[in-house]
Amino acid sequence: MKLCHLAGVCRIAITFTMVCSYVFAFGTQVYGASKGQSGKDELDYLEKLYKTLHQNPELSLQEVKTSARLAKELKYAGYEVTTKVGGTGLVGVLKRGAGPVIMIRADMDALPVEEKTGVPFASKVTVKKDGKKVKLMHACGHDMHMAVWAGVARAMSRDKSWKGTLIMVGQPAEEIGAGSKAMIEDGLFTRFPRPDYNLALHVTNKIPAGAIGLVSGYALANVDTIDIVVKGKGGHGSAPHTTKDPIVLASRIVLDLQTIVSREINPLEPAVLTVGSIHGGTKHNIIPGEVKLELTLRSYKAKVRQQILSAIKRISRGAALTAGLPEELMPVVTVKENFTPATYNNPAMVAQVKEAASALLGDKRVIMAGPIMGGEDFGRYGLEEPKIPSVIFWLGGGSYKALKAGKKPVSNHSPYYIPEWRPTIGTGVKVMTGIATHFLNLRPELSSKKKAQDKL
């Protein structure tokens, strides 16, 4: 998940009181796979795999070794594996006759973050990025996603009771919002069986290990990255009357942009517009010729997104006209192509996920959470026509003891981020396997492609 996109807004919309109410209910040790379908030996294996993945992170679009390891896991479990889908992506297919088609996705990329967790298996990987040496870390928990994904693939392969087709997708480049698009454009839904349902999970320490969180409807936001180049006429700082000061103009634009969400958007429609960077000038007494602004925009609905984008352009141009700038010096507003669409959890499918998860974990360990303004490119899979019902859920990875003591959990993208890995792996495998099996066993009229679209 692009938690760099979550600055200031990364939170699961449940109160700490609610968290404690269900943490206390099930105690200190929840090892979902310790006595379940996988067994201790299986959990030991997956824990070792998790640590290996954690120690060997790779950047977006460079997940070569990671993809190869996941391909090895799938081949060992009996899947038909295709690599290099959308770059470093991979697809595993396991067919068991007629029945629903279920897709389960895990993201593979890591972040340019220097790890400070202090765990014995901490990453020490250093690579070159943009000509500079950077440390790498699985600071967003994609290593956990992959370990759980591998465990689910293995468990589903051993289970001979279900009918249908399972599609296991290892996706690159989630952190830059490019992976799902690349895989779709490379034929994910045409070269392979088209899913009836899409599933994914994301680990968070805001929920304790052993529990999951569900969001019905919009779960994560549209994410737009916007650059504005504010132009002017430079000159000496002692003679501003001979210039058109872009610093003053940029400051006016920054303030005016704050009125878009507060005064132009319906208060019932969530939106966030943040100016995260402003750069201009080189010296105390020089008025520069331009100033650069960098913005992030979050929204859920396409109409709201377009309204805000139009307002950004209108306000920027209006401020420049007010300052008396000619047409050739109008601000240049660029909406970057790495747009991440909102993730919408199909409500009817969420109800089915809740039913399946509650049967496995108990009602108190399955909580209904609220949406956040972070971004996740998993949402793009559900937008391809005809739209495929999709759900991504939160996998608890937090420490029971820490939450009980009132400690603020470490967020994803922190150099200190590490989940309670063993119980989190166990619960993740148990619940995702159970959910997948639930959908594979749905009655035919609900799982058929046409009627699934009508009912879900």
User: What does the pLDDT look like over 190-217, one tens digit per residue?
Assistant: 999 999 999 999 999 999 999 999 999 9
For 114-150, how does the pLDDT look when each residue is reduced to its tens digit (9 = 90+)? 999 999 999 999 999 989 999 999 999 999 999 999 9
Multiple choice CATH, 222-335, 3.90.550.10, 3.40.640.10, 3.40.190.80, 3.30.70.360: 3.30.70.360
**Closest residue by Cα to residue 169 from 100, 74, 253:** 74
Q: In the predicted model, is pLDDT for residue 38 greater than 90?
A: no
Is the Cα dihedral 364, 366, 368, 374 positive or negative? positive
**Residue 44 predicted with pLDDT over 90:** yes
- Single-letter amino acid code for the residue at 279: H
Sign of the CA dihedral with 106 first, then 111, 115, and 116 last:
negative
* DSSP at 31: -
Bond preceding residue 415 cis, omega within 30 of 0: no
Any idea which of 59-63, 309-313, 355-359, 400-404 has the lowest mean pLDDT? 400-404
pLDDT at 300: 97
pLDDT mean over 369-387: 96
**Class of the CATH domain delimited by 3-221+342-455:** alpha beta
Domain limits, the chain:
3-221+342-455, 222-335
Mean residue pLDDT of the chain comes to 90
What is residue 199's three-state secondary structure?
Answer: strand
Q: What is the per-residue pLDDT across 58-102, written as a single tens digit (0 to 9) for each?
A: 999 999 999 999 999 999 999 999 999 999 999 999 999 999 999
Residue 222: which of 336, 59, 144, 106 has the closest Cα? 336
Query: Is the overall model pTM greater than 0.85, yes or no?
Result: yes
